[in-house]
């Protein structure tokens, strides 16, 4: 149905969880938001890049990586993510954008999210 309506499906997982939940199922055309965190807070961060990504279940490139969880930013508890500009540029804050594979570490803007779906 998603393909029929032109909706891209994304998955928030990592290789271990994917294998445990789906028994290693392969899917075609899904976007991957993977997490790699060693624990809560700044001491649990992994590098804010995709160098630790290893392909699995037909995911050959990630779209987003969560590299930190349960951190305080200006008094707000957040998780931190990176994403590639060329795959999610419509979600970025109003900044000068480059059409490249540059990685941006930051946040998503407010009104730019009006046409997206948030899964909680």
Instruction: Tell me the domain boundaries of the chain.
Output: 2-83
Residues 6+ apart with CB under 8 A from 112: 90, 91, 92, 93, 94
**Residues 45-101: tens digit of each pLDDT:** 999 999 999 999 999 999 999 999 999 999 999 999 998 876 444 554 444 545 556
- Give Cα separations from 2 to 7, 28, 68, 100, 117 (angstroms): 5, 12, 30, 27, 13
pLDDT at 100: 58
pLDDT at 105 over 80: no
Q: Is the pTM of this model over 0.85?
A: no
């Amino acid at each position: 149905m998603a393909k029929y309506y032109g909706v891209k499906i994304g998955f928030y997982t990592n290789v271990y969880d994917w294998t445990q939940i789906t028994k290693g199922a392969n899917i075609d055309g899904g976007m991957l938001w993977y997490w790699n965190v060693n624990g809560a807070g700044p001491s649990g961060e992994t590098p804010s890049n995709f160098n630790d990504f290893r392909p699995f279940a037909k995911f050959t490139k990630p779209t987003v990586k969560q590299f930190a969880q349960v951190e305080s930013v200006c008094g707000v508890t957040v998780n931190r993510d990176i994403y590639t500009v060329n795959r999610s540029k419509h979600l970025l804050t109003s900044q000068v954008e480059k059409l490249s594979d540059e990685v941006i570490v930051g946040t998503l803007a407010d009104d730019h999210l009006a046409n997206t779906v948030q899964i909680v």
